[in-house]
Structures are given as structure tokens and as C-alpha cells.
Structure 1
Amino acid sequence: MIRKLKSGQYRIYSRKVDPKTNKRKNLGTFDTLEAAKRHEQEIQYFKHKG
């Protein structure tokens, strides 16, 4: 999940809520939406790599 911050940057959050904190984990902050999308694809690739 990518959200735009007030600073104009984009942050990737985990899709599931962390049961300890009841919040989503911060998975990285990026200057452009394209960079955030590219990194999210990399995250998904490594999560499902067998």
C-alpha cells in the first residue's frame, strides 16, 4: 500500500496490520511514485519467491 505524505514523498506500508502495534509497518519512503511502485514490486517478488 502506497500513501502520499504531506512532504510530497511516498511511503510503502505493509498490507496487513501488525498485531503488536495495531498499525501497518513502514516498508520505505521514496521521492517519486514510480520508485515506490518499483520497490513494492520487488517486495512482492521476494515475498513469493519459493
Structure 2
Amino acid sequence: MTIRKVKSGYRLLSKKGKNLGTYKSKAGAEKRERQV
């Protein structure tokens, strides 16, 4: 999975490029990444 910085925060993307959610902080995105 990839965490990419976007204007609205940080976006968590799957290996295929599917958006798994956008988070205000990088920590929030990393926390979600560990859940899935």
C-alpha cells in the first residue's frame, strides 16, 4: 500500500491504485494501513 500526500491530506492507496480513504494526518493514514 501507498500513502500519497494530496491537498486535502494523505490518501491511502492499494497496490492497484484504489483509494482506501483520505486522512488529515499521515499518522491517521498509517494507522488505517495497519488495520487492512
TM-score interval, normalised by the smaller of the two chains: 0.7 to 0.9
Higher relative contact order (Cα pairs below 8 Å, separated by 6+ residues): 2
TM-score by length of 1: 0.65
Runs of 4+ residues over 6 Å off in structure 1: none
Tell me the TM-score normalized by structure 2.
Answer: 0.86
Q: Of the two, which has the highest radius of gyration?
A: 1
Structure 2: give runs of 5+ residues left out of the alignment.
none
The gaps in structure 1 that reach 5 residues or longer are 18-23, 44-50
Tell me the number of residue pairs that the alignment of Structure 1 and Structure 2 aligns.
35
Percent identity, please: 37
Q: Which has the higher helix share?
A: 1
RMSD: 1.0
